[in-house]
Structure 1
Amino acid sequence: MANAEPLAIELAYSPKPGKVERWALRLPAGSRVEDAILQSGVLTVHPELVLETLSVGVWGALRALDHPLRDRDRVEVYRPLKVDPKEARRLRYRSHRAKQAR
C-alpha cells in the first residue's frame, strides 16, 4: 500500500544574485513539481515568472513540471540567463587582462 503521509518539500527561487527566497511546503503524496510551484505562491509573488516557460530542477538536476516529488525534495526555480556563460567568461578575462596591463 502506498504511503499516504504528506511530503515535506522546499521550493527555492533566487530573483537576483545574492538573494534566495524559500517556501516550506506540505504536499500530498503523489505531488509533482508543478504542484509545488502552484502551492508555494511564487508565481503570485513574482508575476514575471510564467509556469509553462520555467526551467526547474530538483536538487540541482533539471526536471519537467510533471516530475513526481519525494519527501524532503528541494524544488528549484531557475532564472533565465541574461548573458551567455561563455561570453561572460570572455568579458571577465578581458577585464582581468586590462587590469594587469596597467
Structure 2
Amino acid sequence: MSTADPDTMTGLEQMRWVRTYPADIPSIGRLLGMRFEEVEHGRVTIALDTRPDFANPLGTVHGGIAATLLDSVMSCAVHTTLPAGASYTTLELKINYIRAARPDGQTLT
C-alpha cells in the first residue's frame, strides 16, 4: 500500500492517486470494473465494460449500474476541485434514461 497521506492532498492529487490504486483494494470501482480514463481539474472520465452480471430481468444493463457510474464520475470531477482536507457527498441524483445498454461487453463512458 502507498505511504501517501490523502488528508494532506488536494482533491486533484487524491483522484490522481486513486487512479493508481492496486487492484486488491476494495472499492465500488473495482467491483464494477471502472477505470479512470482522464483526471484533470474539474474533469474526470470513467469507463466500464458491461457484462452479463449487470443484467436486469429484461436482459439489459440494470439502471443502477449506470447510476453508479454517473454518481462516481460526477463526484470525482467535483472532488478534483477541492482543497486538502475538504470532503463532499452526493445529496441527490436524478437520471433520465434515454436507451438501454447491452450487457455484452459494451463500453459505457
* TM-score of the aligned structures, taking structure 2 as reference length: 0.28
Which of structures 1 and 2 has the bigger CA Rg? 1
* TM-score of the aligned structures, taking structure 1 as reference length: 0.29
Higher relative contact order (CA 8 A, sep 6+): 2
